[in-house]
């Protein structure tokens, strides 16, 4: 830096501080070898051409948080190996043991970059059907050369609503009275069904007070859509489990038991279960 002027030295110090600040923010992940943006099942059920693509080319754009920065590079195949998609969410890997059996347990939560935002400021859906703060969570178990994967999703209640902060501890939700809720709602679940299959919706908001209209709107939309691939269950979590009565979650489990058996399949890679039965493929469970 001996050739830099005093002003350039100060600018350099500022830029380095900015870079260090960005790199210190939690929740951003990348890999030079593994496609973090796709589930194990999606990576397996693809063509040889897909497998030969660079990580940049084949990434699921819902989960690429540096997509805008990489846009110009995407047109230059010679630099694709330097352009890695960045995921935002949470990843953890643990070696575990149950009854003397050792396995790797991996959790990957992928946060969508579409309609992302802080609590209260970003709620509901947009015109494309993207739910606010949508997250796809995948659990992977790796044991003895085989892998099993189970996926769940969550997102904001998929109607047009807002909850702007004010001086109250919990602002009152406001449902848009003029928006075409069914259009956005159907776009959202059309996408869910294509990507994840049959849906069981678990809605845990309060069924009284300011959140009651949201629960009613959600139930009405599911009923109006009339799609047999979508089932809806409302469970007032705060009422049923107040005073830390987590045991009362058994009420919800009893209600979804039959559906859970129907959708309890997972994606299995690397071998059959004892007896030769291959488990069902995974399904999404938006909560």
Mind listing the pLDDT tens digit for each residue in 23-75?
Answer: 888 899 999 999 999 999 999 888 889 988 999 999 999 999 999 989 988 88
46 within 8 A of 40, measured Cβ to Cβ: no
Q: What is the mean pLDDT of residues 198-219?
A: 94
Q: Is the alpha carbon torsion for 206, 256, 93, 193 positive or negative?
A: negative
Q: What's the chain's average pLDDT?
A: 89
Asked whether the whole model's pTM tops 0.75, one would answer: yes
125 within 8 A of 221, measured Cβ to Cβ: no
**% of the chain exceeding 70 in pLDDT:** 93
Give the DSSP letter of residue 269.
Answer: E
Q: Determine whether 112 is exposed, middle or buried from the number of CB atoms within 10 Å of its CB (0-12, 13-18, 19+).
A: buried
Using pLDDT thresholds of 50, 70 and 90, give the confidence band for residue 164. Answer: confident
Residue 265 above 80 pLDDT?
no
Residue 91 φ then ψ, to 5°: -135, 135
Which range among 97-106, 169-178, 252-261 shows the weakest confidence by mean pLDDT?
252-261
């Amino acid at each position: 830096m001996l050739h830099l002027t005093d002003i350039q030295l100060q600018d350099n110090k500022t830029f380095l501080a900015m870079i260090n600040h960005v790199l210190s923010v939690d929740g951003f992940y990348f890999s030079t070898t593994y496609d973090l943006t796709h589930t194990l099942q999606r990576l397996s059920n693809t063509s040889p051409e897909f497998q030969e693509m660079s990580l940049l080319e084949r990434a699921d754009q819902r989960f690429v948080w540096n997509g805008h920065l990489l846009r110009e590079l995407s047109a230059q195949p010679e630099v694709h190996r330097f352009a890695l998609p960045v995921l935002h969410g949470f990843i953890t890997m643990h070696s575990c043991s149950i009854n003397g059996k050792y396995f790797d347990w991996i959790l990957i939560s992928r946060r969508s970059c579409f309609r992302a935002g802080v609590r209260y400021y970003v709620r509901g859906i947009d015109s494309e059907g993207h739910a606010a703060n949508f997250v796809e969570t995948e659990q992977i178990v790796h044991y003895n050369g085989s892998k099993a994967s189970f996926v769940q999703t969550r997102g904001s209640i998929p109607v047009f609503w807002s909850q702007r902060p004010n001086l109250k501890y919990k602002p009152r939700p406001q449902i848009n009275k003029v928006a075409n809720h069914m259009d956005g709602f159907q776009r959202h679940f059309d996408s869910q069904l294509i990507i994840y299959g049959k849906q069981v919706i678990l809605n845990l908001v309060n069924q009284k007070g300011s959140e009651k209209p949201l629960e009613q709107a959600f139930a009405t939309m599911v009923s109006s859509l009339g799609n047999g691939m979508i089932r809806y269950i409302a469970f007032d979590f705060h009422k049923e489990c107040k005073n830390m009565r987590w045991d009362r979650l058994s009420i919800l489990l009893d209600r979804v038991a039959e559906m859970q058996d129907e959708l309890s399949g997972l994606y299995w890679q690397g071998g059959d279960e004892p007896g030769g039965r291959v488990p069902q493929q995974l399904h999404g469970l938006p909560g």
